[in-house]
Chain A
Amino acid sequence: DTGVSQDPRHKITKRGQNVTFRCDPISEHNRLYWYRQTLGQGPEFLTYFQNEAQLEKSRLLSDRFSAERPKGSFSTLEIQRTEQGDSAMYLCASSSVRDRVSNEQYFGPGTRLTVT
């Protein structure tokens, strides 16, 4: 399978704990995105990388959230001191620099986070 992969698929954690999610984009894609989706809503943009550079961050991304893409391949999203309001599906997507105008993004299966 050469699509976007995410790990873990599910995570249950207690409030106050730190969690880290991983995303592996489609291999030839140099752009990587993180989104968050809660029930009944569309995905909301969190942050975006082109290669290893983090080029945009949403105001939704509080200081407790940090994302990295150290070698321009996989990315991690860490949430520190989790809160119940962080419970959501965290989606990763990737796109190709060659697709500059249309910016078609392809999503991974997501990591469903539940904070108890």
Chain B
Amino acid sequence: RKEVEQDPGPFNVPEGATVAFNCTYSNSASQSFFWYRQDCRKEPKLLMSVYSSGNEDGRFTAQLNRASQYISLLIRDSKLSDSATYLCVVNPSYTGGGNKLTFGTGTQLKVEL
């Protein structure tokens, strides 16, 4: 079983749609969680950290369910510029902070006119 699993997509949605991505992780001791965005042939860019209470940043909402080891990202009113690959990322363990991140393979989103 992969440490972080995502549906690779692609998700093709019309502009203005709401789209949700899900991700599961295998290590129940994982301490911190993120969504990164990656454009084609570019570096990953931090979109948002994911907190236990859930958090929102503009059109983006992230949720964490520790019991089910499940993370989600909701994008409302999607824009053409949201087209990218969305990477679910987990910090697998806490060892005083500052260690590796484990990435899913990413979910591709294409927003169309």
Contacts and interface: CB of A to CB of B under 8 A. Distances in A.
Interface string A80-116: 0000000000010001010111111111111010000
A56 B99 contact: yes
Interface in B60-113: 87, 89, 91, 94, 96-106
Contacts of A48: 98-100
Interface residues on A, range: 20 to 34
Interface in A9-55: 31, 33, 35, 40-45, 48, 50, 55
Contacts of B100: 33, 45, 48, 56, 58
B98 A50 contact: yes
A24 B98 CA distance: 18
Main secondary structure of the interface of B (DSSP, over half): loop
B46 A104 contact: yes
A42 B43 contact: no
Nearest to A32: B98
B44 A43 contact: yes
B46 A105 contact: yes
B97 A100 contact: yes
A101 B105 contact: no
Interface of A: 31, 33, 35, 40-45, 48, 50, 55-56, 58, 91, 95, 97, 99-110, 112
Given A97-B98, A110-B43, A112-B41, 6 more contacts: A35-B101, A42-B89, A42-B105, A43-B103, A100-B98, A107-B43
